[in-house]
Amino acid sequence: MDFVGSHILSVAQFSRLDVERIFAVADLMVPFANRRRITSVLEGAILSNMFFEPSTRTRVSFGCAFNRLGGDVRETTEVKASAIAKGESLHDFARVLSGYSDIIVMRHPTEGSVAEFSETSRVPVINGGDGANEHPSQALLDLYTIQKELASTQKGIDGIRIAVVGDLKNGRALHSLLKLLSVFNNLQIHLVSPPNLETPEDIVQILHDRNHRVEVFHNLTEGIEHVDILYVTRTQEERFESQQDADRYRGLFRINRQIYTQHCEPNTVIMHPLPRDSREEAQELDEDLDEHPNLAIFRQTDNGINIRMALFALVMNVVDHIEDSAREVRWHSGVQQHN
């Protein structure tokens, strides 16, 4: 795809080559993401970060990524603080906001809403999550993490075995991840969920159409055996009809050290888009795994910065200009990335 000036709404936009291009640019961003080096390539540019659903890491990492490229960030985080609360349409809202900003990231509870917003936006719009539909930047950082985690075993993404676990019906991060994975070859995919929370049929069909081996499990311990990647997700309680309905699934599938050690291979990498639900009754990913070297969840969040910087740099066409304004830093916090 031609990234320059494009909206990023769905992973369906990306070919395998596009994914490789994003990852190559993300690698270039690492010293800037770590603030070992500084660039002001987006000086004077404004990102409007519009988050109409709860978010910490996606909102903050998009904002920090833009700041790390030298741009400024304006944020609105609640519907009630925006004119949408006065009945303004997404189309009007986009017309107005795009007059004030150079790029917009939006998260919204309704499926398709970010695409609708983008129709009248005069600047690029990036989907930060639209209901249960998609979360493209999360899928990119997940796949980038998978590639990095497997690098030491000489494995690429082709041929990997992955189990996705939890609320597969409502989890937009894994919807995007499964679609993005589908452009690679020969994958073995375990879809592990309680009954009634299975992956939407259209996504399973995409995986079948591309000849991947897909197996559905309703039993946790069977589903997590013989995989390279274990991708755990939270029950998306906010998408259920009622809290009572959501409570039926709370704590049903839990990964802890004992289950992991007994059923996974010694090198199985553990991932989670976060937040994990650490309340006593839920615990889909127990803290007793926190010191385990195969737990990649915080390396995964670190990767969110350089992946999002890469998206901004590609869409705003500054990849080749980053070096022009690059400087070494005089002060550094000394914080290292997770390893």
- Residues within the interface to ligand NCD (CB under 6 A): 57-58, 129, 135, 138, 172-173, 234, 236, 273-274
User: Quick check: 105 and 123 in contact, CB under 8 A?
Assistant: no
Residue with tokens 């592990």: 192
CA nearest neighbour of 103 among 81, 130, 72: 72
HSE-CB for 109 with a 13 A CA cutoff: 12
CB of 290 to ligand NCD, least distance (A): 18
59 vs 212, which CB is nearer to ligand NCD?
59
If DSSP codes are grouped into helix, strand and coil, which group holds residue 8? strand
Whole-number Å distance between alpha carbons of 25 and 254: 36
Rank residues 52 and 319 by Cβ distance to ligand NCD and give the closer one.
52
Q: Which is nearer to ligand NCD, 88 or 238 (CB)?
A: 238
Nearest to residue 319, comparing CAs of 310, 328, 327?
310
- In the bound complex, which residue of the shown chain has the CB atom lying closest to ligand NCD? 234
For ligand NCD, the closer of residues 118 and 236 by Cβ is 236
User: In the complex, what is the shortest distance from the CB of residue 331 to ligand NCD, in angstroms, rounded to a whole number?
Assistant: 30
Spatial distance between the Cα atoms of 84 and 237, rounded to a whole number of angstroms: 24
Residue 26 half-sphere exposure, CB side, CA atoms within 13 Å?
23
Nearer to ligand NCD, 57 or 210 (CB): 57
- Smallest distance, ligand NCD to C-beta of residue 184, A: 22
Report, in Å, the least distance between residue 30 CB and ligand NCD: 20
Please state the closest distance from residue 173 (CB atom) to ligand NCD, in A: 5
CB-side exposure of 141: number of CA atoms within 13 Å? 29
